[in-house]
Chain A
Amino acid sequence: MSEQLTARADLELAGEPVIPASRPGLRWAMLAVGLLVALALPWFIYPPVAMDIAAWALFAISVDLLLGYTGLLSFGHAAFWGTSAYVTGLIAINAGVPFPLAVLGGALAAMALAVPIGYLSVRRTGIYFAMVTLAFAQMVYFIANQWRSLTGGENGLQGIPKSFFGIEAIETDSFYFYYAALPVILLGVLVAWRAVNSPFGQVLVAIRDNPARARALGYDVERYKIMVFVLSAGLAGLAGGVFSISHGFASLQELAWTTSGKVVLITVLGGIGTLWGGPIGAGLVVVLEDRLASSGFNGVGIITGAIFIVIVLAFRHGIWGTARNGVAAWMRRRRSGAGGS
């Protein structure tokens, strides 16, 4: 069901005009608020859940880089999140390096995996791209399930340490761990922000809106798509690595198609093509799932799925996009009312 919906989202939402928030002052203010929220989060939310929000936020941003900025709906991003979760865990267990290094190793592994998958997928567009990426992700899942000696099969990879220069507070207390891991997430967000506001980002938007014209201008569309796919996989890998360190284990769930579906849901829910949508969607979905799970309710997927349907139908630009358009329209009205020009 969510497959159909996301396909619809791909067709209808990608490239929808969103009124840009062009005021630089406003942008910096929003950035400051976002950073403040990220820093304050574990004071208000159980720290491991706060860490989950941060990881899913970056994961959603990685999907948005493809869906919102390039017009590609990947339905197999669990392959990169999950591969990094395992590789990060294996490095942390076997090499005993500080966890950010292990996460970096996991992200590099995800990128290496993304090269052949990207190469073989980017010729397809729309729902066919989604299906090819899903198929590759299922292959990765299958391999991880078979390769028990490495991954632990259905038991997952247990006992992943949070090594961090022997600083006990960070290694044992999830509250302090959050602050040690947040910079890794923020590094990923920074990379995404830089990329979408770079010449490369301009080309991506051009490819999203009119690939034939981009080619006529001399842009090698496939090569750009492979590049952004690998970049996106790296960000998904950073997020997945932090996630597995935070939980202390990596399971097959990290590679499952439901994980790919969940991150697309979060991205579309928050609003695509903005980078803010991911964090908003992640906050909403992770907190909601946590509340529902702790209340002993079993149909979490049904609730989040229903909310997803409502939001996609009611607010075509997602939560962030709708809010932004609303504010922009309100400011325009006020200006034309006051200025009288």
Chain B
Amino acid sequence: MSSDTNDARQPSPVVLQTRGLSKEFRGFRAVSDVDLTVAAGTVHALVGPNGAGKTTLFNLLTGFLEPSSGQILFQGRDITGMQPEQIAHLGVARSFQITSLFDQMSLLEHLELALASPTGLGYRFWQSSKRLGRFRERAMELLEQVGLADRAGQDAGSLAYGQKRALELALALALDPTVLLLDEPTAGMGLEDVDRTIALVKKVSSGRTVVFVDHNMHVVGSLADTVTVLQSGQVLAEGTYEQVRADQRVITAYLGQAG
């Protein structure tokens, strides 16, 4: 919080916060003493070279990994040690860096399943699966948003890579989360899809908080209110895109790589 690139205009309350968060894999610190503060309603980028610990941090925030030490607060509430499904229900949804779908299910079935999750319909083994049809309209809207409406009936396994990324995004959006965590949402996408994704994230970010990881500086520059740079599991710098880009340590550590 007392980082040297502290933003003076920071009136919005904190929605997500970590305190001294660390994760060790057999002695190797993938995430090391991270104090991250995400202001409500902002779009927050997490950048850093491969292996910096970005995905691990996402896994900690969403309960897929248990921290070795430290604390995670969501809306002031301690969610450290909670299970992924509990955190999802509280309003923190994520997409996966490595596309993670149900290959034999249609796109529509994916979204119906995501939309049904908070309702408890999934426990009803005595009812027809046609009951899931009540989510169809909303499911089609979401597919429309990510540009996949014409493929609604197709199996996810048959999608091209960039389309799978778009479906990942739609699934996370279906949970209507307070905080949306996107792990490399545009990786492997063509230019056109990247621009559509930027526009979409801009649109859905109103009324919620977005934290995303991306290597594409065009995406980071277009979307991020705040950028946090990670290196070797530690926070190296934080600020606006312009501030971070001008930071000498960042240039040597990360942006310098790209020339």
Contacts and interface: CB of A to CB of B under 8 A. Distances in A.
B144 interface: no
B105 A205 contact: yes
Contacts of B101: 210, 213
Contacts of A218: 85, 88-89, 117-118, 175
Contacts of B124: 198-200
B207 interface: no
Given A194-B125, A202-B113, A227-B123, A217 B100 contact: no
B176 to A, nearest CB: 11
A68 to B, nearest CB: 12
Interface residues of B, number: 36
Interface in A4-41: 15, 17
A224 interface: yes
Nearest to B157: A17
Main secondary structure of the interface of A (DSSP, over half): helix
B83 interface: yes
A69 to B, nearest CB: 11
Nearest to B112: A202
A289 interface: no
B171 interface: yes
Given A217-B117, A217-B171, A197 B102 contact: no
Interface in B79-118: 83-85, 88-89, 93-94, 96, 100-105, 109, 113-114, 116-118
Contacts of B89: 218
A197 B129 contact: yes
Nearest to A228: B125
Contacts of A201: 125, 129
Contacts of A215: 64, 83-85, 88
Contacts, number: 100
Contact of A199 (B84, B100, B121): B121
Nearest to A209: B102
A290 interface: no
A205 B121 CA distance: 15
B131 interface: yes
A227 B125 contact: yes
B104 A205 contact: yes
Interface string A185-228: 00000000011011111110110011011011111110010010
Contacts of A250: none
Interface in B125-176: 125-129, 131-132, 157, 171, 175
A199 B114 contact: no
A231 interface: yes
A217 B113 CA distance: 8
Given A198-B125, A218-B175, A206 B62 contact: no
Interface string B22-35: 00000000000000
Nearest to B114: A217
A203 B62 contact: no
A17 B113 CA distance: 20
Nearest to B121: A199
B64 A203 contact: no
Nearest to A212: B100
B122 interface: yes
Contacts of B96: 212-213, 216
Best-buried of B100, B113, B121, B122 by chain A (most CB within 10 Å): B122
Contacts of A202: 105, 109, 113, 122, 129, 132
Contact of A216 (B88, B126, B129): B88
Contacts of B127: 198-199
Contact of B102 (A199, A206, A224): A206
A203 B128 CA distance: 13
Nearest to B122: A203
A15 to B, nearest CB: 8
A221 to B, nearest CB: 7
A199 B131 contact: yes
Contact of A200 (B100, B103, B122): B122
Nearest to B64: A212
Nearest to B119: A199
A247 to B, nearest CB: 31
Contacts of A227: 123, 125
Contacts of A212: 64, 84, 96, 100
B231 to A, nearest CB: 27
Contacts of A221: 85
Contacts of A17: 103-104, 157
A195 B129 CA distance: 9
Given A205-B105, A219-B122, 7 more contacts: A17-B103, A194-B128, A198-B128, A203-B113, A210-B100, A213-B101, A217-B113
Interface of A: 15, 17, 194-195, 197-203, 205-206, 209-210, 212-213, 215-221, 224, 227, 231
Interface of B: 62, 64, 83-85, 88-89, 93-94, 96, 100-105, 109, 113-114, 116-118, 121-129, 131-132, 157, 171, 175
28 contacts: A195-B125, A197-B128, A198-B127, A199-B121, A199-B129, A201-B129, A202-B113, A202-B122, A203-B113, A203-B122, A205-B105, A206-B105, A209-B102, A210-B100, A210-B102, A212-B84, A213-B171, A215-B64, A215-B88, A216-B62, A216-B84, A216-B88, A217-B88, A218-B88, A218-B117, A219-B85, A221-B85, A224-B123
